[in-house]
Structure 1
Amino acid sequence: MIKRLLLFAVIISNISVSQNTIGTTFISEGVYDGYTLFTVSTETYLINNCGEVINQWTSTFPPGNSVYLLENGNLLRAGRTSSSDITFGGQGGVVELYNWDGNLIWQYFYDTPMMRQHHDVYPMPNGNILILAATVMSNSEAIQAGRDPLLLTETDLYNEQIIEVTPLGLDSVNIVWEWNIKDHLIQDFDATKDNFGNIGLNPNKLDINFLNGGSGGSNWLHINSIQYNEERDQIILSSRNLSEIWIIDHSTTTAEAASDTGGTYGKGGDLLYRWGNPEAYKQGTNADRTLFGQHTPYFIPSNLPNSGKILLFNNGIDRTPSYSQVDIISPPETSLGVYDYSQNTKYLPNNTDYTYDEFTTGNSDFFSPIVSSARQLPNGNILICEGNQGHFFEINSNEEKVWEYVNPVNSNNGNISSQGDPPPNANLTFRAEKYPTNYAAFDGRDLTPGDPIELNPDLTLCNSLSVSEFEIHPISIYPNPTNGSFKVSSTQNINKIEVYNILGKRVLVSSGTTIDLSFQSSGVYLIKIHSDKNSITKKVVKN
């Protein structure tokens, strides 16, 4: 009993500092109220800000690599098969759909000796799915396309492909659209081969001989992300090895996507925009490079802060000193989706609109050479996944960290660490995505949290925050103590009320203001009351 009273004293003291080593290691006022999704080993987890599991899905495949929670509650996930064909970091091979209850409802293998899904898939608004894949070009095909034979160090070269599929039945698809980078190449090496031209005057095409200092291996491009923007009907891609982001037109037919004409923007499947490394199209030098192995660029949706801008995680590989940053840029548009460009120059902007890093403040710990992501949240915060360390954190507009989480799962073998122990040596996490509590997938679902992922969890941090909004709009709870029900009253709009027992376990959640504790044991309960933007925790005694 003494231990429980001490725990309660800590909970109500509004202390936001924890000794937790894994799971939720820090939480404070201003954290965005939502659920975070990530996949590791064969598991996909949806957690709340306390690290408690809201839902969990199990696959027979480790990540391959992205995962999305759809509005209907289904989970779209890429998995990594055991194939020995087309192997490189980020390899996948299978795409799966699970329902909310964890049942596998569709599974499609894009995995042959000549083609393999890798890194990313993307759920389209019409129910289709974009699949990113590598396909094999023989060295003779690459040479005919204009590749310098001295830059071919392996037996083949990988073309990057995007297909759009309509799922059929349990394991089939109808391919409705296709795009391949091999259809949009240029070279100035051999006039007797295909794609010969002036690279500097054709920035809409990709120089097949630009390697950005790489070795010339099969995986010369390493596309690690495809994200779709419905307003523009465009796809934004990220080439890690070339340190560039590209935008292409999705409105084309497959035939137009293989050409340089047609579609809404009149350029077929050519690049509409590129940014990050102007040396790639002979409009700069290595000194002009602004991206360094980046991941997950995407257009921020129109209903969020910084809408219409591109947010990305700039990993920072190949620069000295090494450090990561999060960048926001505004591509210059003459109209929606039409990018301003002056011939024989580099693509703008020259500078980012916003950059977050810790190196310029004297702390170089923020560095993930691979994977990772950043997401704009509705309240202005940014959720950052420092993926190599399995470290998620959320910053507010003042760049203060308001939430931190460390993945407790070993990404190699699925073993789970205990609270208080160091994080696993390997807890790599490809991305983290946060969904608002009013996201359509949660309608009618049981969102009662389970235990945190880590063993021997400590929830002392949670459910202890107060905010000034309720000081301006005071609340009343009556009767208190109560024999059963109590009512919460305030002039401030109340969105949700959560009830926690003295051990920090949530026992009830309600969108109404009358709470029934009749079926709960006698004792002290913490009542977390949520307004539109903030929350406050109060104490109620049940007799």
Structure 2
Amino acid sequence: MKKILLSILFINLFCNIYCQNTIGTTSLNENVTDGYTLFTIHEKTYLIDNCGQLINSWTSNFPPGNAVYLLDDGSILRAGKTSSNNVPIGGQGGVIEKYDWDGNLTWQYFIDTPTQRQHHDIYPMPNGNILILAAELMSEAEALQAGRNPANLSSSNLYNEQIIEVTPVGMSDATVVWEWNVKDHLIQDYDMSLDNFGVVADNPNLLDINYTSSGSDSANWLHVNSIQYDETLDQIVISSRNVSEIYIIDHSTTTAEAATGSGGIYGKGGDFLYRWGNPEAYKRGTSADRKLFGQHFPHFIRNSVADNGKLIVFNNGNGRNPSFSEVYVLNPPSTSPGFYSDPSVNTQPYGPLTPDYIYSATNPEDFYSPIISGAQRLSNGNTLIMEGTKGKIFEIDASNNILWEYIIPVNASNGNSQSQGTDPVSFPNNSFRATKYAPSYSAFSGRDLTPGQPIESNSDIASCLFALNSESYIEKNILIFPNPVLDFVNISSDFSIEKIEVLNITGQLITNIKNQNRLDISALKKGVYFLRMTIEGKFITKKIIKN
């Protein structure tokens, strides 16, 4: 009976301490995936553990522009936003930077001219090259000659979205080794005397230059917000927010082939191999057939126990009524890997008609981010989701149970850390994307991963550390005996214990000891205590009962 009462007391205290957290790690289940989560906000990039403890951080002179990646050598590759007014576009960037693990700037490359500017996304290629998403100005005359209806041209320019692949050179230069431009893959049925005239519905591999959705008659008619590369297929996945479509193109082409409709592994040059989300955009459906609404971060799922080879995408839901967000997983129909079923023979839209998997909140309107955001399928089948406009990162399991929730505790306007207890809606904490990396990722090999303090001030993570006290999570066998204990407690471990801290049930530090495996606790009062041990840079917590 005494043990039951103690357990109830512990559970109540756990909730009283932990459930009041408003920022940082606000909820956690011990089945959360072990790993470290990366995100960027204001001028800093953060790497945190599941309790929100800081593992590493990097500081730039530029706010996000927008993507960031942790490379396998421990460096980060980050896009930054310059202060220029060149090629104004949502998600504008202008500079790509690489910092080593220790925060030293090792490469900085600008794409920021009066006619061309990097924006939104970049991608580190397996061979060390970098894919860069850029917007390039098309003059009014060029846009009209390409077949743009003047009624759909509210600006004197139109943006050509392009993907540029570069090889870094030295500290601040690069060599362009490949290029793709959407302006080379257009169609229009407006005027047969102009370029690109044809039947739109008969050419789903091309982009209708006159399809417009709300607000897309501006220069930024496409608003491509993501580029992701799939090494397995040598294909690139891109996302147009304004058209609400995903496109897949062949990367195996030469630059010359990428400007045409032939060549490459898949024989279609730089034309679309596949598209999905809005068949109305290529006249194979109506607005009722639309599946995507301002989506972000479509990419192939790889190295996961669930849905390998399928696409995952964050469907923002911007523009539909009511407004709510979802995560989709879909399986593009194909005749063989990378060769997608061509709907042109039957005038049907690209399949599938419905996703294989949809995540939304129980009350759909509780989960909504009109812009930015993303989702990542983890190796164990769980899914990490970034609700970007709320600065909210959470992980769900295969049954859609929320295992972890983290509210970014940084003001996006000035970079200031907030204090625990702050209402998260009282400050802007929007962030573009979050990525979780497994502890086995090569970037962490030989690194000091000793957790620091959480980002937020006045942090309260004792209950989080207690919740992670499970053998499946720490993957290390630790034996504590005797327990209950009267005077001396012994700790047996296969690894060196760097430090032991004794905490009371409220999380208050009682004492700490270094490099010992036997503790004298005879002076402590009877009750429940916790031993927080630092082993190989990780906090591992065990409960003991003092008789």
3-state SS in 2 of match to 1:200: helix
d(CA) in 1 for partners of 2:96 and 2:331? 33
Q: Which moved more, 1:173-182 or 1:10-19?
A: 10-19
Match of 1:386 in 2: 387
Contact 1:131 1:163 in 2 (8 A): yes
Question: How do residues 218-233 of structure 1 correspond to structure 2 at under 5 angstroms?
Answer: 218-233=219-234
d(CA) in 2 for partners of 1:193 and 1:504? 75
Match of 1:451 in 2: 453
d(CA) in 1 for partners of 2:192 and 2:130? 39
Taking structure 2 as the reference length, the TM-score comes to 0.88
d(CA) in 2 for partners of 1:161 and 1:451? 42
Contact 1:418 1:457 in 2 (8 A): yes
Q: How far 1:214 moved relative to its partner?
A: 3.0
Structure 2 CA distance for partners of 1:66 and 1:222, relative to 1, 3 Å: same
Match of 2:53 in 1: 52
d(CA) in 2 for partners of 1:496 and 1:433? 30
d(CA) in 2 for partners of 1:273 and 1:499? 56
- Give deviations 1:388-443, integer Å, cap 9, x for gaps: 00011111111111110101111111122110111242111100100011111000
- Give deviations 1:367-400, integer Å, cap 9, x for gaps: 0000000011122211110000001111111111
- Give deviations 1:184-240, integer Å, cap 9, x for gaps: 000011111110011100000000000123351000000000000000000000000
Question: How do residues 19-418 of structure 1 correspond to structure 2 at under 5 angstroms?
Answer: 19-343=20-344, 344-358=347-361, 361-418=362-419
Aligned pair 1:517/2:510, yes or no?
Answer: no
Aligned pair 1:487/2:467, yes or no?
Answer: no
- Partner amino acid, structure 1, of 2:492: K
Contact 1:36 1:46 in 2 (8 A): yes
Structure 2 CA distance for partners of 1:110 and 1:375, relative to 1, 3 Å: same
- Partner amino acid, structure 1, of 2:516: L
What is the CA RMSD across the aligned residues, in angstroms?
A: 3.1
3-state SS in 2 of match to 1:364: helix
Match of 1:511 in 2: none
d(CA) in 2 for partners of 1:18 and 1:326? 26
- Give structure 2 stretches of 5+ with no counterpart: 1-5
Structure 2 CA distance for partners of 1:332 and 1:23, relative to 1, 3 Å: same
d(CA) in 1 for partners of 2:516 and 2:471? 27
d(CA) in 2 for partners of 1:462 and 1:151? 54
Select which of 436, 439, 444 maps to 2:438.
436
Count of matched residue pairs: 516
- Give structure 1 stretches of 5+ with no counterpart: 1-5, 509-514
Structure 2 CA distance for partners of 1:519 and 1:243, relative to 1, 3 Å: farther
d(CA) in 1 for partners of 2:448 and 2:208? 52
Q: How far 1:518 moved relative to its partner?
A: 7.1
Structure 2 CA distance for partners of 1:529 and 1:211, relative to 1, 3 Å: same
Q: How far 1:10 moved relative to its partner?
A: 5.3
Match of 1:18 in 2: 19
3-state SS in 2 of match to 1:279: helix
Structure 2 CA distance for partners of 1:10 and 1:417, relative to 1, 3 Å: farther
- Partner amino acid, structure 2, of 1:526: L
d(CA) in 1 for partners of 2:477 and 2:451? 28
3-state SS in 2 of match to 1:193: coil
d(CA) in 2 for partners of 1:279 and 1:350? 14
d(CA) in 2 for partners of 1:184 and 1:282? 16
Q: How far 1:42 moved relative to its partner?
A: 0.2
d(CA) in 1 for partners of 2:518 and 2:96? 44
Contact 1:11 1:464 in 2 (8 A): no
d(CA) in 2 for partners of 1:129 and 1:496? 42
Percent identical pairs in the alignment equals 55
d(CA) in 1 for partners of 2:389 and 2:196? 38
3-state SS in 1 of match to 2:189: coil
Q: Which moved more, 1:208-217 or 1:129-138?
A: 208-217
Deviating 4+ runs (over 4 angstroms): 9-17, 466-470, 478-485, 494-501, 518-525, 527-530
d(CA) in 2 for partners of 1:106 and 1:75? 11
Match of 2:531 in 1: 526
Contact 2:18 2:464 in 1 (8 A): no
Q: How far 1:485 moved relative to its partner?
A: 8.0
d(CA) in 2 for partners of 1:299 and 1:319? 26
Q: How far 1:477 moved relative to its partner?
A: 3.0
Q: Which moved more, 1:326-335 or 1:515-524?
A: 515-524
d(CA) in 1 for partners of 2:270 and 2:148? 20
Contact 1:485 1:517 in 2 (8 A): no
Q: How far 1:501 moved relative to its partner?
A: 5.3
Select which of 460, 463, 482 maps to 2:462.
460
d(CA) in 1 for partners of 2:40 and 2:518? 36
Contact 1:485 1:516 in 2 (8 A): no
d(CA) in 2 for partners of 1:156 and 1:86? 10
- Give deviations 1:139-185, integer Å, cap 9, x for gaps: 10001101111211111000000000000000000110000000000
Contact 1:10 1:460 in 2 (8 A): no
